[in-house]
């Protein structure tokens, strides 16, 4: 007879000789082991170990910034680094804000496509699947936190891990949120060298959040039976209005008048009562759709079904290469942009990603791909924006193994934005109305010393710019700020002020008392605790939205970082006492002393 869990938990608590850590781990294993589903041996990962003692941040590589042709160009983001670190950072900037995620993770074929802790996992590795699941589960859980309430995730995979991935995603996203297992026909020509079945397809698993609705797609083909045209040239076919057999409602038995005045009832051939498909009122309302035929059995009414109703149809789970492209078309497309692109073996066609975004996104959606590879997702997003006037923003994440981020992902999309020339000398106009910003992952020690906290706030500036999609640095009411003390960002619609030195709080509050603002300024201020200087800003409370740093960052990371050494109480390094500055000292502290006053708000 099996022993229930509550009994086992009590037994473990009563065992003598166990250390507190041993007892805690046993209880944790018992509570978290699923009764049904995947069970595998978790394999430690170097990327996760790094997060045991460090917090991830993102720092911009300024020289790789590509400016769009207009001020409202979407700001796309490319992050170079391990996607576990990048996703952790994005939980601060984008939790609950991503509308569509598409990923093409390693398929774990054993053919040097999956690297774990700097070593390729080969086909004979006895922990092949455990390593892959350990790798994926951390990233998919973070991805779930990023999805908006109307968000959806698409995951490409093949038969090596499809079954395991389906069970894993059921446990993370919920079986009820499984939307479909799409079959993508990836190959447009057979391989003659295979000995068994010839595989023509990959899978794309789709999971949604509760408020997501899959869009219908334009119908490119009208079925052959829509073979008639009315006086307006509209295609239609007809169906009999008379219903036969069954227990029909009495309300469907009524007489109608044929064109020559004959009264027609819906009798069956043997004289039994039948019925009309429509109610009498609908027959009156839709009379122009009725088509009468006078045959050997007398007048028979038919009704027209127009092909106009087929303009949009539900998306199917079978995607042929003729509709969304193949691996061959993807390689050809890629090689037109990167001349030495033949070394990149598995790009996805832009038509595939565009189709996903058409059925899954609004025109202002935020798209994420954290296995960015050749950068197809950004290319497709920019193409779709150009076609339908959208302002979708795309975030890409990839490591720089073999220089892929710099030389492939970035270089491809740089050429797509700026324009390029194909190997045959054909000039291709760029998609100029797009901006691209390049970031790298960086780290700050997790230990809460005063020095670490100040460094975290300083390095968090790029995170804050990403969080608010606000990158243009400006003067603070006519004066240039000392960047070691404060920075001010404005795009004309919203404003953000970051105070790295808490001594600047009073002079900033005093300045704001004498200034009019159209909407509250987002103010981040360094604080060794969670106090955002509400009292100091009390007189201008309606002009600011205050947030204390780094407390807000610690709070965002609290539930996503590894448990080891996680936020135990530490004694903070006390700050060196700083005398209150004189009025002249305040001026020197806050503003750049070498900068002359310029027009209000100008950069």
Concatenate the DSSP letters of all residues of 37-98 into one string. Answer: S--------HHHHHTTTEEEEEEE-GGG-B--SSTT--EEEEEES-HHHHHHHHHHHHTTTE
Residues 6+ apart with CB under 8 A from 293: 299, 300, 302
User: How many angstroms separate the CA atoms of 88 and 91, rounded?
Assistant: 5
pLDDT over 90 at 531, yes or no: yes
Residues 6+ apart with CB under 8 A from 415: 337, 338, 430
Residue 570 has what pLDDT? 44
Confidence category of residue 255, pLDDT binned at 50, 70, 90 = very high
Quick one: average pLDDT of 20-44? 77
pLDDT over 60 at 565, yes or no: no
User: How many angstroms separate the CA atoms of 232 and 506, rounded?
Assistant: 74
User: How many angstroms separate the CA atoms of 544 and 147, rounded?
Assistant: 29
Quick one: average pLDDT of 92-99? 98
Quick one: average pLDDT of 171-184? 96
Residue 388 has what pLDDT? 94
pLDDT in tens, 116-162: 888 889 888 889 999 999 999 999 999 999 999 999 999 999 999 99
Quick one: average pLDDT of 24-32? 75
Confidence category of residue 470, pLDDT binned at 50, 70, 90 = very high
Query: Could you tell me how many residues make up the chain?
Result: 603
- Calculate what percentage of the chain has a pLDDT beyond 90: 69
Residue 38 has what pLDDT? 82
**What is the pTM (predicted TM-score) of this model?**
0.82
CB distance 73 to 386 below 8 Å: no
pLDDT over 90 at 527, yes or no: yes
User: How many angstroms separate the CA atoms of 378 and 354, rounded?
Assistant: 10
- Is the sign of the CA dihedral 397, 403, 406, 410 positive or negative? negative
Residue 568 has what pLDDT? 42
Going from the C-alpha of 236 to that of each of 246, 306, 591, the distances in angstroms are 28, 4, 74
CB distance 489 to 473 below 8 Å: yes
For 466-501, what is the HEC assignment?
Answer: HHHCCCCECCECCECECCCCEEEEECCCCEEEEECC
């Amino acid at each position: 007879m099996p022993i229930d869990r509550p009994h086992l938990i009590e037994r473990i608590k009563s065992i003598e000789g166990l250390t507190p850590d041993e007892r805690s781990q046993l209880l944790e294993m018992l509570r978290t082991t699923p009764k049904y589903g995947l069970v595998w041996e978790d394999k430690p990962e170097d990327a996760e170990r790094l997060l045991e003692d460090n917090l991830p941040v993102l720092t911009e590589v300024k020289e790789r910034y590509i400016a769009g042709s207009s001020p409202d160009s979407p700001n796309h983001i490319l992050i170079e680094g391990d996607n576990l670190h990048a996703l952790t950072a994005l939980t601060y900037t984008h939790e609950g804000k991503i509308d569509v995620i598409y990923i093409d993770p390693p398929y774990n074929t054993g053919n040097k496509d999956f690297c774990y802790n700097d070593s390729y996992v080969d086909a004979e590795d006895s922990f092949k699947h455990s390593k892959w699941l350990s790798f994926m589960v951390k990233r998919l859980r973070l991805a779930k936190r990023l999805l908006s309430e109307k968000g959806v995730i698409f995951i490409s995979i093949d038969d090596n891990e499809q079954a395991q991935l389906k069970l894993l995603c059921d446990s993370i996203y919920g079986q009820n949120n499984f939307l479909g297992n799409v079959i993508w026909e990836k190959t447009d020509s057979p391989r003659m060298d295979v000995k068994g079945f010839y595989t023509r397809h990959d899978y794309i698993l789709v999971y949604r959040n509760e408020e997501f609705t899959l869009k219908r797609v334009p119908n490119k083909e009208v079925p052959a039976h829509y073979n008639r045209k009315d006086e307006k040239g509209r295609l239609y076919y007809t169906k009999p209005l008379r219903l036969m057999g069954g227990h029909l409602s009495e309300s469907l038995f009524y007489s109608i008048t044929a064109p020559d005045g004959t009264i027609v009832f819906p009798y069956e051939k043997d004289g039994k009562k039948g019925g009309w498909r429509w109610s009498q009122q609908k027959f009156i309302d839709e009379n122009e759709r009725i088509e009468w035929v006078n045959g050997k059995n007398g007048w028979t009414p038919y009704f027209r079904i127009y092909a106009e109703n087929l303009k949009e149809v539900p998306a199917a789970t079978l995607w042929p290469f003729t509709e969304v492209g193949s691996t061959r078309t993807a390689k050809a497309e890629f090689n037109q942009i990167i001349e030495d692109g033949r070394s990149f073996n598995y790009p996805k066609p832009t038509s595939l990603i565009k189709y996903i975004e058409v059925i899954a996104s609004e025109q202002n959606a935020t798209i994420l791909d954290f296995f960015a590879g050749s950068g197809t997702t950004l290319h497709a997003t920019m193409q779709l924006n150009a076609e339908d006037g959208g302002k979708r923003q795309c975030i890409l994440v990839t490591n720089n193994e073999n220089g892929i981020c710099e030389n492939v992902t970035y270089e491809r999309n740089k050429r797509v934005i700026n324009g390029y020339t194909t190997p045959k000398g054909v000039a291709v106009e760029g998609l100029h109305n797009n901006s691209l910003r390049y970031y790298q992952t960086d780290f700050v020690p997790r230990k809460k010393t005063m020095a670490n906290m100040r460094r975290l706030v300083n390095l968090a500036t790029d995170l804050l710019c990403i969080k608010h999609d606000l990158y243009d640095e400006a003067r603070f009411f006519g004066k240039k700020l000392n960047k070691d003390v404060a920075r001010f960002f404005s795009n004309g619609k919203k404003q953000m002020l970051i105070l790295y030195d808490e001594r600047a709080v009073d002079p900033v509050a005093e300045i704001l008392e004498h200034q009019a603002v159209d909407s509250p300024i987002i103010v981040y201020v360094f604080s060794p605790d969670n106090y955002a200087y509400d009292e100091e800003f009390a007189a201008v409370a309606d002009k600011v939205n205050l947030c204390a740093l780094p407390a807000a960052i610690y709070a965002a990371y609290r539930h996503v970082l590894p448990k080891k050494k996680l936020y135990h109480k530490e004694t903070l390094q006390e700050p060196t006492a700083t005398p209150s500055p004189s009025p002249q000292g305040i001026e020197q502290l806050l503003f750049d002393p070498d900068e002359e006053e310029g027009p209000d708000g100008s950069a």
